[in-house]
Amino acid sequence: MQKILLLVTMSLAAIACGGGGGGSSAAQLPTNTTATAASNTAIAPTNNTTPATQSWDLRRVSPSVANTSQANVNAVLDHIFTDQAVQSVLVSKYGLTIGERYATGYDKDSYGTSWSVAKSFYSAAIGVAIDEALIGSVDDKVSDIITEWQNTDKADITLKQVLQMRGGYSNRDNIFNTSDQTAHAISFPLASTPGTQFSYSNANSQLFEPILSRATGLSAHQYLANKVLAPIGINTNSVGFWLDATGTNPMTYCCLDMRPDDFARFGLLFARGGAWDGEQIISPNYVSQSMIANGAYGYQWWVLNSAYWNGRQVPIDIIAALGLNGQKIYIWPEQDIVIVVLTKYTHSANQGYVLSVTNLPNTCTARNTCRGAQDSEVPSFDQYDLISLIQALGSN
């Protein structure tokens, strides 16, 4: 396992979708996770669905109920499962599950891990904290909360710059290998002038941990559970919330373990402008701003636009949460479509969720990227080709 940890750390520094996560069921949280929604007026989702077909429960239906064909759904599933490391795929439209497929030995109740998909979740928690006036706005200086930054070269970094990965941190932050990851994130030196360039940094997103805990009085995990997960019907006592090696710091750049349906619920929340079954969980303004690209990145969400594809044109802009080794949530808000992809995952809930050299999220075995692997890395499916297949799922 020491070798696996070293390889994962190398991967985090080398690729743009690093992170961490793992598990099966037991959560590292108190049980008082009954939530109240943010106090905004509920709005209707801004998409092309109709009240007759729109749902919130992801119930299983024929694709024809959601105005698409079985052939279109099969095309998506077949394409994604060209990746031999895939554990599960769930395809939803109008809040209805119109397709799903699982690798041998897995089913809809099998847990996957998020890795950096979790970044989008903690961004959502930041949005709720702003809605509740616990944080002023995205234009606030982070040093108002992380006071250690006052009178330093980080004094003027804004929350928006952190959300957009433009806070000045390097992507070579080695945070996964650090015991106290929050202290590491706070003290990590700047590599560029804040606001001048995009750099995908896990240490940057670990800053959500002290920001949320200091602003709300709850741990980042507890606030996320209370304000985002529980209101959308996720059993927070069955979520694996990972902590760093100190056993006290929530990891906010990574590390949530849930079922495919749970990840899909979160995707649906953003596809519908932050609304959930008559309640406004996150303000529509924060959700829309989250999905506006500065380059190819919003507030901890990727926008799969032409900039993402280095100038290559795409027929539609898909919004995506992307994680190490193939964890993905794709959303197409215009058509109320959400697709979840998870990689084969190895972790027992009995191991708990405190990161160590013998307890860590293992997706590298399935991807064949663990140190000492004899064969080549298992290639993923062609993500660019998937865009047109998703487009075909839209209304005819």
User: Domain holding 367: CATH number?
Assistant: 3.40.710.10
pTM (two decimals): 0.90
User: 3-class secondary structure for 367-378?
Assistant: HCCCCCCCCCCC
Q: What is the pLDDT of residues 231-276, one digit of tens each?
A: 999 999 999 999 999 999 999 999 999 999 999 999 999 999 999 9
Report residues of the chain scoring pLDDT below 70.
Answer: 1-53, 396
Alpha helix segments (H runs only) across the chain:
2-14, 70-80, 118-131, 159-163, 181-187, 202-206, 208-216, 220-224, 260-271, 284-290, 364-367, 383-392
From the centroid of its chain, how far is CA 80?
Answer: 19
**Distance separating alpha carbons of residues 204 and 144, to the nearest angstrom:** 17
- Residue ranges making up the domain that contains 56: 2-392
CA-wise closest residue to 271 among 289, 293, 295, 287: 287
Residue with tokens 């905004």: 40
pLDDT score for 18: 53
**Distance separating alpha carbons of residues 95 and 232, to the nearest angstrom:** 12
Tokens representing 177? 């290998």
pLDDT score for 5: 44
Number of domains in the chain: 1
CB-based burial label for 246 (10 Å; 0-12, 13-18, 19+):
middle
